[in-house]
Structure 1
Amino acid sequence: MAYTLEQLRGFVAVADELHFGRAAERLRMTQPPLSRQIQKLERSVGAQLLERDNRRVALTAAGEVFLAEARRLLAMADAAPEAARRVSSGSSGLVRIGFTAASTYGTLGRLLNEVARELPDVDVDLAEMVTREQVAGLLNGEVDLGLARPPFDAGTFGSRLLLREAMLVAVPAGHRLAALGRPVVAEDLRGEPVVMHSPTKARYFYDLVVGLVPVAHEHVVHTVSQVLTMLWLVAARRGLAFVPESATRLHVDGVEFAPLSTPVPEPVELHLLWTRESRNPALWRVLDVLGAAFRTG
């Protein structure tokens, strides 16, 4: 038979007072029902918790151990309603965030710091995923929020522009393009070997680059999915690469950057992404915090 919270409260009162009469008065009840509560509790526990006679009440060794557990259980029970209210309001809980590798170059850290400062009781789990993996994770409930690249299905997902940035040309140190003194145009790139984004694993950047500059297939010397890998290959003088401005934060030796002439000054976009039907209250609080912190023009 399980014991009740009332039995635990009765036991703690008697243990504190070491007197049934004073404990009953503290609990605003009479002594006989309190005595019955303690007896039922001892039967449930399977051990004598109190030694009592007409003159004294004392804790047994088992009672000393059980008292600490009883206090812990009562504290948890008393805290449970407030915890439930906090989760319901979104001020505590768990938000699982998927992010692209490139979003870690400054943006992810700032985002996490904002959430930690404004919502200290919200825990965050992180998972590195490319955008298509984030979309699948949001749909199957593996993540609550993504840091992803467009486009998105507006009927299924809510999104908010988090960051815009320029596209740059990463070149080996001392390369002629770094000394042009102006943005690089398509004609400047003629004949240059290119380290290219993967059309499958980095589809967003692949489509963006192809739409901005003509890249002849015969000039593509390597195809990779990560910006950091691109910069290492550029440093090894394997070719040039097209990277977001945030890649300059990586400070890879042997790499310089030149601005790329683009129709839109900052064509690279990073969005917050979530399912419109999410039932996680903490997600909506996180979105409020990030909406205030990351104002985009």
Structure 2
Amino acid sequence: MDLRSVECFIRVAETLHFGRAAEELHLSQPALSQRIRTLERDIGARLFERNRRSVRLTAAGHAFLAPARTVVTQGERAVDSARRAAQGRQGRLRLGCTVIASYTALPQAIQEFRTTCPEVEVDLVEVNSPALEAALDRGEIDLGVLHPPLERPHLRLRALPAEPCVLALPAGHRLAERSTVSFADLAGEPMLAAPRSVGPVLFDKMVACFRAAGVEPRIVQEATPVTTLAGLVAAGAGLGFVTRGVATATRPGVVFREVPGAPAVPMAAAWAAAEPSPAGGRFLGILARHLGSVSA
């Protein structure tokens, strides 16, 4: 059943005048009459009794009027819902992020998105980068904020500003008195690090920085996520690198120092489809404003 024809029926039923209804609907009177005849044929009953002097509803027309109004209202709502979903203003956004990402401006971006798009339900999961890749591949999340390079090259990627690394060390450590620390200063120090399997490229870059300074890193314990590593530093288990965002979270007994030449943690948004979902695309725009420029 054509919704436009149902709208035409309602207008004729309200005006009881084909000419006036055609004018209000911006149709010619023959076109309006044809729509009504087609509708009557589809229903299998006459909806109007008319002659040269008057138009009136039949019993079938009276019975059809209230449901017809409901159908048109529901149709308009369905069209509006579809349009809002296509614009990323309605629906659902399944978002994944790493712990490191959660210590950037990501939470503020999510808050703004929820405020500006209240009809989009946001589901948030926090796991490591390899797990986010797998979740994207399985279709469990729509968008992941993670750390390239990716093991699955078929995933789509948009680069985000990298997160600089700083050294976390106990407040009473001998190096805590310095404003900056070099890799050479870390010779023989017990180091904490995330497992290489979580971020092999960053792990190898960090080891290369040590070796370029003539130092072999002494990794005494693997720890993940990075917040756990900071907790182990506070407990005196060793020293370790964390992102600057994590360093902004106050942790008693731990100080943070710049290490010139330390690699940054790469950041990116990833998705599995040819393009981000409409809600995902809208969220990426907000995230770009909070984090800075986003590379295509």
| Normalised TM-score (structure 1) | 0.70
Do the aligned residues in 2 keep the contact of 1:99 with 1:134 (CA within 8 Å)? yes
1:125 to partner: Cα distance: 1.2
Tell me, what secondary structure is at the counterpart of 1:250? coil
1:231 partnered with 2:233: no
Please give the secondary structure, in 2, of the residue aligned with 1:285: helix
Match of 1:177 among 175, 178, 200: 175
Structure 2 residues not aligned, in runs of 5+: 18-47, 49-55
Which residue does the alignment assign to 1:257? Answer: 256
Segment of structure 1 superposing worse, 247-256 or 28-37: 28-37
Check whether the contact 1:114–1:290 (CA below 8 A) recurs between aligned residues.
no
Match of residue 281, structure 2, among 274, 281, 284: 284
Task: Decide whether the 8 Å contact of 2:105 with 2:291 is kept in 1.
Answer: no
Q: How many residues are treated as equivalent by the alignment?
A: 248
Identify if the C-alpha distance between structure 1 residues 72 and 260 changes in structure 2 by more than 3 Å, giving closer, same or farther: farther
RMSD (Å), alpha carbons: 3.5
Seen in structure 2, the aligned counterparts of structure 1 residues 208 and 244 have a Cα distance that, compared at 3 Å, is: farther
Please state how far the C-alpha of 1:25 moved relative to its aligned partner: 4.4
Give the distance between the partners of 1:204 and 1:250, measured in 2 at CA. Answer: 26
Identical positions, percent: 30
Aligned residues of 1:161 and 1:271 also touching (Cα < 8 A): yes
SS of corresponding position for 2:206 = helix
Shift of 1:106: 3.5
Pair 26,207 (structure 1): closer, same or farther in 2 beyond 3 Å? farther
Given residue 92 of structure 1, which amino acid in structure 2 is its aligned partner?
Q
> What are the within-5 Å matches in structure 2 for residues 143-182 of structure 1?
143-152=141-150, 156-181=154-179
Distance 1:252 1:239 in 2: 15
Counterpart AA for 2:282: R
Q: What amino acid does structure 1 have at the position aligned with 2:127?
A: M
Quickly say closer, same or farther: Cα 1:82–1:184, change in 2 above 3 A.
same
In the other structure, the counterpart of 2:101 is 103
Q: CA deviation at 1:88?
A: 2.0
Aligned to 1:57: none
Question: 1:243, CA displacement in angstroms?
Answer: 1.1
Per-residue deviation at 1:85?
1.3
Letter in 2 for 1:145: L
Equivalent residue number for residue 190 of structure 2: 193
Task: Note closer, same or farther for the CA distance 1:292–1:172 as it changes in structure 2 (3 Å cut).
Answer: closer
Residue 92 (structure 1) aligns with: 90
The DSSP-based 3-state class of the residue aligned with 1:123 is strand
User: Is it true that 1:34 corresponds to 2:33 in the alignment?
Assistant: no
Tell me how far apart the structure 2 counterparts of residues 168 and 254 of structure 1 sit (CA, whole Å).
16
Residue 206 of structure 2 contacts residue 262 of structure 2 at CA under 8 Å; is this kept in 1?
no
| 1:130 and 1:202 in contact (8 A); partners too | no
- The answer to whether the Cα contact below 8 Å between 1:106 and 1:249 also exists between their aligned partners in 2 is no
Q: 2:77 aligns with which of 76, 79, 95?
A: 79
What CA distance in whole angstroms lies between the structure 2 residues aligned with 1:72 and 1:179? Answer: 74
Q: Deviations over 1:73-118 (max 9, x none)?
A: 8754431111111112333222211100121114321220232344
Instruction: Determine the C-alpha separation between the residues in 2 that align with 1:151 and 1:26.
Output: 66
